[in-house]
Amino acid sequence: MNDIITCRQLTKNYQRGSVVTPALRGVTLTIPRGSFTCIIGPSGHGKSTLMHLLGGLDRPTSGSVSLDGIALDTLDERALAEVRSRKIGFVFQFFNLLNNLTARENVELALMLAGVPGSRQTARAGDLLARVGLADRADYRPAQLSGGQQQRVAIARALANNPPLLLMDEPTGNLDSEAEAEILAILKSLHAEGTTVVLVTHNAEIAARAEQIIRVRDGLAFMTAEDAAAGRLVA
């Protein structure tokens, strides 16, 4: 149980009409609990697909994913939604906030979906926004916030239900360097508190800070650049 994620022989094919496109061709990997892991690799080689499968947003064509001891492939739709709500915080490149709701309401939404009663939502959302330095922006809508601020709201929302795992897809891909530094500082402190951070990125600088790097190439995962060059798969 020292690994928060274990996946074995994970494949994913996308089918459009009669054309089958393999996105993942057999990924086996483990992510240790409490680690800071980066998934890197060229565009279109399966990074995002891998992240979707690890986070239970999509189902593999074959193979298995286990998250915090739960075999995701055995879960029905409702149980999978429950896992997404309580075990995982997602952060996306384009923030994916609901533009009609204020920062606070966006965070409250995640609490609502986890069944937190309305009376406790407001205080909790306020704490989380304070945590990412946006206490004074709680009643702003996404359009009134900068990109960096929006991404911090998204992080506050991802943290809403104290998930053990943060799954991020290019969280700084759309930000300037100043905003990126702010985000990374937050991630660093979250990591220090024991949250597992898994981050898909193109950014070599960020990857350099990771404790573990997983390279995705041609739908396969490798642990080091040498392995990738030699085609040596993870055990």
Partner 1 sequence: MNLPKLVVNNMTRRRGRFVFTLLGITIGIGAFVTFLALGGSLKQEVMREANALGANLVVTPKGSCAYEQVSILTGEVLPSNITMEEYARVKALPGMTVVPVLAEKSAINNRPVSVSGILPDEMRAFKGWQIAAGSDLAATDEIAVLLGAEAAEQFRLQPGGKVVVRGEALPVKGVLAATGGKDDVTVFLPLATAQRLFGTGSHVSYLAVKVDDVTGIDLAIERIREQVSLGVVSDRQMLASVLAIVGSVNVTLQLIAAVAVLAAAFGIVNTMLTATYERKREIGILQALGATRRTIFTLFLVESGLYGLLGGVCGVGSGLLFTLAVAPHLEQNAFTSFVKGSGGIGLPDPLVIGGAILFSAAVAVLAGLYPAWRASRLSPVEAISYE
Q: Give, as ranges, the residues between 122 and 181 that touch partner 1 (CB under 8 A).
A: 157, 161
Task: Work out how close the CB of 198 gets to partner 1 at its nearest, in angstroms, rounded to a whole number.
Answer: 15
Give the DSSP per-residue string, 9-24: EEEEEEEETTEEEEEE
Question: What number of other Cβ atoms are within 10 A of residue 46's Cβ?
Answer: 24
Q: Which of 4, 40, 50, 111 binds partner 1 (CB under 8 A)?
A: 111
Residue window 72-101: x/- pattern of binding to partner 1, with contact defined by CB under 8 A: -----xx--xx-xxx---x-x---xxx-xx
∠ Cα 205 207 212 (to 5°): 155
Of 118 and 194, which CB lies nearer to partner 1 in the complex structure?
118
Task: Work out how close the CB of 45 gets to partner 1 at its nearest, in angstroms, rounded to a whole number.
Answer: 16
Task: Work out how close the CB of 209 gets to partner 1 at its nearest, in angstroms, rounded to a whole number.
Answer: 25
Q: Segment contacting partner 1 (CB under 8 A): 111-119, 181-189, 192-200, 216-224? A: 111-119
Q: Which of 3, 8, 25, 114 binds partner 1 (CB under 8 A)?
A: 114
C-beta of residue 183 within 8 angstroms of C-beta of residue 148: yes
Which one, of 142, 191, 151, 176, lies nearest residue 33 by Cα? 191
Q: Which of 70, 75, 112, 184 binds partner 1 (CB under 8 A)?
A: 112
The DSSP call for residue 91 is E
C-beta of residue 10 within 8 angstroms of C-beta of residue 171: no
Q: Does 69 bind partner 1 (CB under 8 A)?
A: no
Q: Does 16 bind partner 1 (CB under 8 A)?
A: no
Q: Which helix (H) or strand (E) holds 66?
A: strand 62-67
Of 86 and 202, which CB lies nearer to partner 1 in the complex structure?
86
Q: Does 110 bind partner 1 (CB under 8 A)?
A: yes
CA distance linking residue 104 with residue 6, whole number of Å: 34
Of 168 and 214, which CB lies nearer to partner 1 in the complex structure?
168
CA distance linking residue 95 with residue 156, whole number of Å: 11
CA distance linking residue 40 with residue 22, whole number of Å: 19
Residues that bind partner 1 (CB under 8 A): 52, 55, 57-58, 77-78, 81-82, 84-86, 90, 92, 96-98, 100-101, 105, 108-114, 118, 121, 157, 161
